[in-house]
Amino acid sequence: MRYQPSISIATGGMAEIFLGTTAGDQPVRPLVAIKRPHPHLLRDRAFKESLLHEARIAARIHHANVVAVRDVVVDGDRVDLVMDYVEGVSFAELLEKARGVPPAVAVRVVLDACAGLHAAHELSDDDGTPLGIVHRDVSPQNILVGLDGVARVTDFGVAKSLESRARATTEGALKGKVGYMAPEYVDGRPIDRRADVFALGVVLWEALANERLFKGRNDAEILVKVQSARIPRMREIAPELADAIDPVLGRAIERVPEGRWPTARAFGNALEESARPDLVATYEEVGAIVRAV
């Protein structure tokens, strides 16, 4: 065994995550997070093959704002996704425990996420052919904010390359958190990186407004809201942010993909340029809030 799990640190509908170390006698053994899908899911051969395919793609993404997938270990019927361990909290936890964060912190986190997503979107194979990666599950839960103040995109477990999105076995299934899904995804239309831009725009809107954008009693109601509910402008929620944020954020959450920022980098660049200096927190400021919760 190349990695030794120690304690369970999280569990969800698809997997359990363990804190672990690299195995061996070396004096310094780095901490890792080991994501282990539930056994009943792995009994589905198509699921297992898709998981391995996408995990190996995710392992090719190397960027400071992406939680690195170090290894994929198959041991009989068990599959372990070994990732860098980030000491910190998810952005969702940070928003909940801190009861909201200053706008400058929200902007800093989203700028980091833009950079990480752009790196994934730009990934190519060994021949230089773009893989067309789309995360498909960008949400506050899948952005980790470390004690160092750096935000990193994680959980590419439902991410899809252009190749796998074309497979018949993946058609007809919505994956991800419904309140962050782009309208074209909900409609079953083809998606590209702009779906992730929409989701990240929703993350920023909610962090600034300190409330959910698309609310409903169940997923079906939320999906209807995603497609048709009026989206309040930031000037209605936080007038003091309107001039700096509204034009950029409004374009990120346009329902028509062609109206959105074409890339996560374009969204991030525009956000950084339009934000006042006091609207972009330093990493030290973000880290201080993480340590306090």
Split the chain (293 residues) into runs of 10 and give each run's mean pLDDT.
89 90 80 93 88 83 94 90 94 96 98 98 92 93 98 79 47 70 95 98 98 95 96 92 93 98 99 92 98 96
Q: What is the pLDDT of residue 77?
A: 86
User: Parallel, antiparallel, or unpaired for β 31-37 and 78-84?
Assistant: antiparallel
CB 110 within 8 A of CB 203: yes
Domain(s) of CATH 3.30.200.20: residues in the chain: 3-84
Q: What is the pLDDT of residue 170?
A: 41
Q: What is the pLDDT of residue 242?
A: 86
d(CA 224, CA 111): 29
CB 185 within 8 A of CB 197: no
CATH fold for domain 88-292: Transferase(Phosphotransferase); domain 1 (1.10.510)
Indicate if 137 belongs to the active site.
Answer: yes
Q: 3-class SS at 210?
A: coil
Extended strands (E) in the chain: 3-11, 15-22, 31-37, 69-75, 78-84, 88-90, 143-146, 151-153
Query: Which DSSP symbol is given to 93?
Result: H
Domain(s) of CATH 1.10.510.10: residues in the chain: 88-292
d(CA 16, CA 34): 8
Q: What is the pLDDT of residue 168?
A: 34
CATH 3.30.200.20 fits 3-84, yes or no: yes
Q: What is the pLDDT of residue 224?
A: 96
Both tokens assigned to 195: 């779906």
**Of these residues, 137, 155, 196, 246, which one is catalytic?**
137
Q: What is the pLDDT of residue 61?
A: 92
88-90: strand order across its sheet: 88-90, 143-146, 151-153
Q: 7 has which bridge partners?
A: 19
Q: 3-class SS at 3?
A: strand
Q: 3-class SS at 258?
A: helix
